[in-house]
Structure 1
C-alpha cells in the first residue's frame, strides 16, 4: 500500500482502531537518512497531544541505541567506527531488538534517547507504560540483515518513508553543518558520500516486508 505525503492526522486516523485491541500494537517507521522520519514522528506526537491520546499512544526513536562515542572507541577499528557512525554496526542492535520485544509483550520499558548536544545516548529517559500503540522510527527497523531482521517478529505494521535520494542528501548535509557534526558544507558532502549514502544504499537494498509506503516528496 502506498500513501502520498499523508498528514499526521490521516496517519493517526488509520491506526486509532487499534486502541480497542486487547494487546499492544507496534508500528515502525523506517527510511534512509534524511527521509523525514524524525519530522514525521514529531508531527505524529503533536497530533497525539492535540487529541489528548498521550496516555494511549507513544512515539519514540531507535536513535538512543547508537553506541556511545566511548563505546565506538573500544571497537577493533575505532577510527572507522567513528567515521561510519550511523552504519548498522554502530548501533546496539541487540539492545534495540530487546526493547522492541519487551514493548510488544506489553511490559513497562525504559527507553533511551539521543542527546544531540553531547552526541551520545541517554538511557531510560522515555517510559513506555500502559500505552496501546507505540510508534518507533529508525533507520534499520525494516532491515533484513541479521540481527535486525528479528525485529519483524515484534512488529504489527511496518511503514517505510520513501524519499528521493537527492532530496535526502541535501537535508542530511544541512543537518551535519547545523548540528556541528562537520565544520562546513564541503566536509558535510564528504561525510554523506563516505557514510550516509552507503547506509542509504544498504537500507534500500535490504528492505523487508512493508505494509505502508509513505511517499515523502
Structure 2
C-alpha cells in the first residue's frame, strides 16, 4: 500500500467539523515518525496547511536527570522511561481544546533530552497523527492514552532492518559501533519484543516493505 492510500484511509477516520487522533505503534526503528510525518505532509498538501498535525510520544521521554533519579538511564526508551500520564493528558486536550493552538514537545537526538513546544496542533487540524512504541500496550497509562485514539496502526518492519537503523541512530548520537550494538541488544531489542506483543491490539497492520518513504534510516 502506498502512502497516498494510507493517507486517504487516515483522513476517512476524521469527520468533517471534528477532530480525530490516529496512533501509529511499532517496535523501535520501524519508521513510525517517518510514516507519521509523511501522512501529515500528504494530507496538508491535499487539504491545506493546518488540516493535519503531528504529536510524537518521544516528547514525553523523562529527562536524563529524572532517569538517573529513577535508575532508568540504561533503559531509556523503555515504557517506564516515559511520562505516559502526561502524554494521555495531552491527547485528551487535543480532542477537547480546539479554540487555541496546543504546543507539543519533542525529543532532540542531539541534546538527548526532550524539548518543549517544537510542534503545534492548530485549531484547524482535523486529523492528528501520534506515534510511539507503546500506543497499543495493555498497561496502566497506555490504556488511557489508547482510549483517545480512533484507531492504532501497527507499523511492521523486519528485525534486521530495524537493527541496522537503530545502530546507525546510536552512532549518529555519538556512540561508536560497539557501544551502538550493545545499546541495541540490551535495550532496544527487549523493548521491541514487548511492543511486538501489542500487535494484535492494533486495528491495521502496515508493512514497511514497499513503502518507499520508509525504506531508509530516520
**Residue in structure 1 matched with residue 216 of structure 2 by the alignment:** none
Q: Equivalent residue of 1:155, what SS?
A: coil
How far the C-alpha of 1:105 sits from its partner, in A, is 2.2
- The verdict on how the C-alpha distance between 1:210 and 1:169 changes in structure 2, with shifts beyond 3 A counting, is same
Q: Please state if 1:102 is matched with 2:93.
A: yes
Q: Please point out which of 179, 194, 204 is paired with 2:196.
A: 204
Question: SS of 1:43's equivalent?
Answer: helix
Q: Distance in 1 between matches of 2:24 and 2:59?
A: 15
Equivalent residue number for residue 31 of structure 1: 26
C-alpha deviation, 1:50, in angstroms: 2.6
Confirm or deny that 1:64 pairs with 2:59. Answer: yes
Structure 1 residue 206: Cα displacement: 3.4
Over 4 Å off, 4+ runs: none
1:136 lines up with 2:130 in the alignment? yes
TM-score normalised over the length of structure 1 = 0.87
1:67-109 deviation digits (Å, cap 9, x = unpaired): 111221222x2xxx11110001111111111111111224443
Q: CA deviation at 1:52?
A: 4.9
Structure 1 unaligned residues grouped into runs of 5+: 1-5
Aligned to 2:143: 149
1:93 corresponding residue in structure 2: 84
CA distance in 2, matches of 1:205, 1:141: 12
Instruction: Give how far 1:11 is off.
Output: 1.2
Q: Residues 144 and 207 of structure 1 are in contact (CA less than 8 Å); yes or no, is this contact kept in structure 2?
A: no
Counterpart Cα distance in 2 of 1:142 and 1:134: 17
1:84 to 50, 75, 81: 75
Using the alignment, how far apart are the partners of 2:199 and 2:15 within structure 1? 30
Check the 8 A contact 2:44/2:50 in 1, yes or no.
Answer: no
Aligned to 1:187: 179
Count of residues in correspondence between the two structures: 206
Counterpart Cα distance in 2 of 1:46 and 1:15: 13
**Cα RMSD between the aligned structures?**
1.7
Q: How far apart, in 1, do the equivalents of 2:156 and 2:148 lie?
A: 22
* 2:103 counterpart of 1:116: no
CA distance in 2, matches of 1:16, 1:212: 15
Alignment counterpart, residue 120 of structure 2, candidates 104, 122, 127 = 127
Name the CA shift for 1:164/1:23 in 2 (closer, same or farther; >3 Å).
Answer: same
For the 8 Å contact 1:143–1:203, the answer to whether it is kept is yes
Residue-by-residue CA offset, 1:17-46 (whole Å, 9 max, x unaligned):
345434211100010001111221232233
Q: In the aligned structure 2, how far is the partner of 1:9 from the partner of 1:206?
A: 26
State the distance in 1 between where 2:171 and 2:203 align: 34
